[in-house]
Amino acid sequence: MKRLVERAVHLSGNNDKPHSDLHEMGHNMNASLMYSTFFTPERYDSMLPIRSDLEQVERIISRELISRHKEFTDILDHVSQYKGKRLRPALLLATAHACGLVNESHWVLGAAVELIHTASLVHDDVLDSAHMRRHLPAVHTLWGTKSAVLLGDCLFTNAFQMTSNLENTRACKVIGRSAHRICEGELLQNFHTGDINISEATYFDIIDGKTAEMISASCELGAAYAGASEAVIESMASFGRNLGMAFQIADDILDLVGHENQTGKSLGTDFDQKKLTLPLIWLLQNGTDADKNKIKSLLEKDSSAQRVQIKNLLSESGAIDYAKNKAEQFVASGKRDLQALAPSAFRNILHLITDQILNRSC
């Protein structure tokens, strides 16, 4: 259970004994992390040094998902079960450790970025007409569209309130900027729904807003509230952005060729909603005339059989390999950003998380 932790310490050149709580952590794995297949028992090892901090984040999230209105109990209990990868708070905390010391502000910020992410998922499921999220029914399928939208709004504003209580106002500015970019990215994608001529540049602008921005903000805040220099903060924000771009490309590939029983969410929604992602964009711009015509024809149909045809076409044409290569380029750029950090076990943990982005099934 301590294998990757020891590996991280070894790679850092630090032969000191790992965190004193690590042995105990290995025997009491956090259920919220194990809920997601992103952190399998093997991969979970890499999270051990920040486990106690993640537990503090979980406590804050649980506290914030309690309302004085008894009418909200069921819907809040439901969304509290959306325990996924916890990627954003994990990155925030690992970055903070790599830059200095973790303090209570980091726990609050970790909870805030996760609440914003959860809010965006609730809204996404409405926009995409998705029925499943993290192996559970999407909120809108149980409580309706209006309640789902309002719940997402409540989660957003709750996160804003949390950051406003911190002494340093930087978090308010960063979170406000990121929330704006998330909405901007979603709106841009909506305007290009059904656009078979959408460019790669526009696609990258969309995913930079809807996904990469909040991951970038998480790393930026982790560094800033640990007292890092502005140069290091900028490098960590860049790291998060590159990681976020790679993450979304990988997510878009899974939406086209993944398996719902592994991802725990509805797949094929982008294609069903005529939202073209990188593999399809590349094929429409670089494929043979026959392939282009086939894709255009499939876009006009609505059947489960079309997904099998699309999967085969994308794989055989090289479109999936092209998208994977782009994701790998972003990962490589992110790893270069990490050179701004001094060697440490936590820097190596960030490297390990980065590698996991490209090798996942959920």
Long-range contacts of 235-240 (CB under 8 A, 24+ apart): 235/337, 235/338, 235/339, 235/340, 235/341, 236/95, 236/99, 236/337, 236/340, 236/341, 238/333, 238/334, 238/337, 239/334, 239/337, 239/338, 239/350, 240/91, 240/95, 240/212, 240/215, 240/216, 240/334
Rounded distance between C-alpha atoms, residue 32 and residue 58, angstroms: 8
Rounded distance between C-alpha atoms, residue 21 and residue 214, angstroms: 30
The pLDDT score that the predictor gives to residue 269 is 67
The pLDDT score that the predictor gives to residue 304 is 62
Mean pLDDT by 10 residues, the chain (362 residues): 36 37 33 38 62 94 93 94 88 97 96 95 90 88 96 95 93 95 95 94 98 98 97 98 97 80 54 88 93 85 71 90 97 98 92 86 56
All structural domains of the chain: 3-358 (1.10.600.10)
Rounded distance between C-alpha atoms, residue 208 and residue 215, angstroms: 10
Q: Residue 315, SS3?
A: helix
pLDDT tens by residue, 137-159: 999 999 999 999 999 999 999 99
Rounded distance between C-alpha atoms, residue 285 and residue 172, angstroms: 41
In the chain the first and final C-alpha atoms are separated, in Å, by 22
